[in-house]
Chains A and B, each alone.
Chain A
């Protein structure tokens, strides 16, 4: 039973850690499916993390913070779109520029606004996303009512109740948004006219153009969706997972999301599983620091490196050939 509770807790942590990856991964999916490579996911998340925390700190409203985060991310998306769609620049270089811009600008603006060494003040009350407790789930309130600890109550509950209370309930609303985005993305991409055109514009933009549909318009739409999702991911990091912004708080999650996207071969459901796997590896490394396997102790360093080792091994050996959208990375030129 103890083992089971531990397992559920690790999975719970997995969900929290995968959410920003999943949002960023889906953001990249829209953009890359439309033929715009985006390695600026990291920068957009960081920018959104800062502005959502800053506005939430100033106004006390996490929802205004979320909007500000999305807006900041959208502006960077617009920059990326302008550079790579309108001016037909190199998409990778534009993405790198966005990452640098965000890393520098966030700390600079934070220092000038708050004078706390590049961080925002801690958020509290309405400035943060509260966790959503489902009805009948075991939560802190029950613990207070009965005067026992949550883990104590958990160990008395039955299996279904534990899974329900620990794994499904008690996350921030953005977590549910992220996981609902998976079927939504699948439906948009494979069941709507817009999705068909979006996929086509990433494979063969000339054909889309011939059919009388605007390539530029579609690509801008995809980049904008990417901006919104990155914005949500950043706001989740700063206002739900943490209570404020600290410099470089995305810590490479945008790049792990890109790895997950390639691993998933640009498909929504697979992207979810890839992000969950990477999240699980991080959660295991945090929970079991020194694993004792009957005499042989695996040191914490190995556990810390495991996500990266497995990423390399899985990418190199198991997924087979990952073929990106055919027109990915090429600016569309109507006439020579």
Chain B
């Protein structure tokens, strides 16, 4: 009995000190997996940057199924991690269930911006603004007058991407034909490069010669096939220009890495509330580097720069798909 008591006492002491001493940040990746070369990998890069600069450590988990979302959240909160950073809109429901139980813990939700809970920092991105710019570039690079869009799972967020893209393309060429396809309606659509390839081939046969992939791991197949077939592609979230140098027109950057880095840097003092990162905040943008230098003409560069400024100061309004769940430029 005494042994039992002292063991339990020791365990309790360890648990208490663990809670107090290790306020390590934690990062929960979405179903696409840490190395999707896109959304989740951007978060990983941000976290790595923080770890390298500060020598700090963070905890992470790549969830494998929907059921693990709440489990992972609770486990990290229970173990005293702070802040807990979650990736993807799918964490909204688990967060509303868990966040209230741990008022002392700060949560950071990337891609969620509609919850009314005080201890969450919610970060939304103005993806339609960045997509508008790559849409303009696609329309200027297209010779056939048809450009394509391949989304991952068919959810409002991805339509939001597609909608901005179509508006940008139509701003350059009102007669342009935008072909849009979604990979699927389940989370498996984020990780099906074979299907991404087939969709790319289908769009090419419909005349598309620039294709924008907003599809997580599926996009790897889209970019690959586009490069094989000699047409241009546009990457998403991370800078994907280097995947096929000279074949990827540009990438729509979503600076998830910055969001994650900032949150980790602020630590448990991170400011909560709803934040939107658009062109003005440099939360979204287009990727220009050595790999796509040859593809981007001076005219294209100037037009994009002009549009960027116009969007920031309000001369151009890019309609968001969320406003009334429909898109003026594209029928899904």
Query: Which residues of A are at the interface with B, using a C-beta cutoff of 8 A?
Result: 5-6, 9, 13, 16-17, 116-119, 122, 140, 143-144, 149, 151, 237, 241-243, 246-249, 251, 282-283, 286-287, 289, 300-301, 304
Contact = CB atoms under 8 A, between A and B. Distances in A.
A255 B188 CA distance: 17
Contact of A246 (B143, B217, B243): B217
Given A149-B209, A286-B195, A300 B182 contact: yes
Given A140-B229, A289-B181, A242 B193 contact: yes
21 contacts: A9-B201, A13-B201, A117-B62, A118-B33, A122-B220, A122-B243, A149-B143, A149-B144, A149-B209, A151-B205, A151-B207, A242-B194, A242-B197, A246-B220, A247-B33, A249-B193, A249-B194, A251-B194, A286-B181, A286-B198, A287-B202
A140 B230 contact: yes
B255 interface: no
B46 interface: no
B194 A151 contact: no
B124 interface: no
B224 A251 contact: no
A300 B154 contact: yes
B198 A283 contact: yes
Given A117-B34, A246-B191, A286 B199 contact: yes
Residue of A251, A282, A286 with most chain B CB atoms under a 10 A cut-off: A286
Given A286-B195, A289-B181, A300-B185, A243 B224 contact: yes
Contact of B197 (A6, A241, A283): A241
Interface string B6-34: 00000000000000000000000000011
Residue of B36, B194, B195, B197 with most chain A CB atoms under a 10 A cut-off: B194
B182 A237 contact: no
B125 to A, nearest CB: 23
Interface string B214-255: 000100110010000110000000000001000000000000
Contacts of A6: 205
Interface residues of B, number: 34
A175 B257 CA distance: 42
Contacts of A117: 33-36, 62
A291 B154 CA distance: 16
Contacts of A243: 224
Interface of B: 33-36, 62, 143-144, 154, 181-182, 184-185, 188, 191-195, 197-199, 201-202, 204-205, 207, 209, 217, 220-221, 224, 229-230, 243
A236 to B, nearest CB: 11
Nearest to B181: A289
B185 A304 contact: yes
Contacts of B229: 140
Contacts of A286: 181, 195, 198-199, 202
Given A9-B201, A117-B33, 19 more contacts: A13-B202, A117-B36, A140-B229, A140-B230, A143-B230, A237-B194, A241-B197, A242-B194, A242-B221, A242-B224, A246-B191, A249-B194, A282-B198, A286-B181, A286-B198, A286-B199, A289-B182, A300-B154, A300-B182
Contacts of B184: 304
A137 B202 CA distance: 20
Contacts of A247: 33, 191
Nearest to B217: A246
Nearest to B332: A290
Contacts of A140: 229-230
B185 A16 contact: no
A243 B227 CA distance: 11
Contacts of B220: 122, 246
A116 B185 CA distance: 26
Given A9-B205, A242-B221, A251 B192 contact: yes
Nearest to B230: A140
Nearest to A20: B194
Q: Which 8 pairs of residues, A with B, have the shortest CB-CB distance?
A: A117-B35, A9-B205, A287-B202, A286-B198, A243-B224, A117-B34, A116-B35, A117-B33
A156 B251 CA distance: 35
Nearest to A250: B194
Nearest to B198: A286
B33 to A, nearest CB: 5
A283 B205 CA distance: 13
A151 B194 CA distance: 22
